[in-house]
Homo-oligomer: A and B are copies of this chain.
Amino acid sequence: MPNDVLKCIKSRRSIRAYRPDQITEQELQAVLEAGLYAPSAMNQQSWHFTVIQNRALLQQMSEETKAHLLNSGFPRYRRLLTNPEYSVFHHAPTAVIISGVEDAIDPRADCAAAAQNMLLAAESLHLASCWVNMPIYLFRAENGPEWGKRLGIPSCYKPLYGVVLGYKTDKPAKTHPRKENTINYIR
């Protein structure tokens, strides 16, 4: 019964440590194509992907996001956000911002399916990946709309999720046990 797809789904983990070297263009394109092949409500394909591979820009975005979150009062994350070593992109060399058409039927579902496809495609290529939400707060800051413009996100799209990509380090990823009693049956 177990096949490569089921194995990939089980082996995928959120990776928060990355090698500094960039992924290949071929790997990037395979991951992006997987995102494009997600299902979407009424086939609206309500997503837009912004690929950021400029290290200085990622660093700047991370610093601004952290400052914005600290100012907005995220007491739970204060220690993380005040750590100069912490990056909201986990220092991955590639980040993809997934944005959804605001007035589509269900952009949050469409874009989440695209994100999950990207994570699985990455895992299938032995890449490290992580679904990241913190960078999205940058677009909710006062100058958030300017960031959207600067990154070339068309104005009818709203940034919803982030995915970071890179190569794995030797640091093993934690496996979380699954919660119990989350399924019921009616037969």
Interface positions of A (Cβ within 8 A of B): 1-6, 8-10, 12, 14, 26, 30, 32-34, 36-39, 41, 43, 45, 47-54, 57, 105-106, 108-109, 112-113, 115-117, 119-121, 123-125, 131, 133, 151-153, 161, 176, 178-179, 182-187
* Selected A-B contacts with CB under 8 Å, 20 pairs: A3-B124, A4-B124, A5-B121, A6-B30, A6-B124, A9-B37, A10-B34, A12-B39, A14-B39, A39-B116, A41-B133, A43-B176, A48-B184, A49-B184, A50-B183, A51-B184, A51-B186, A109-B112, A113-B116, A151-B184
Which among A2, A53, A117 has the highest number of chain B CB atoms within 10 Å?
A117
For A53, give the chain B residue with the smallest CB separation: B187
Closest to A45 in B: B179
Which residue in chain B gives the minimum CB-CB distance to A57? B186
Task: State the oligomeric state as a number of copies.
Answer: 2
Identify which of A5, A12, A36, A112 gathers the most chain B CB atoms within 10 Å of its CB.
A5
Residues of B near A1 (CB, < 8 A) are 26, 30, 125
- Residues on B with C-beta less than 8 A from A32 are 183
A156 to B9, CA, bound (A): 27
- The answer to whether A3 touches B6, judged by C-beta atoms less than 8 angstroms apart, is no
- Contact of B49 with A182 in the complex, beta carbons under 8 Å: yes
Residue of B nearest to A11 (CB): B37
The 3 closest A-B pairs by CB, nearest first: A5-B124, A112-B112, A4-B4
Whole-angstrom distance between the Cβ of A39 and the nearest chain B Cβ: 5
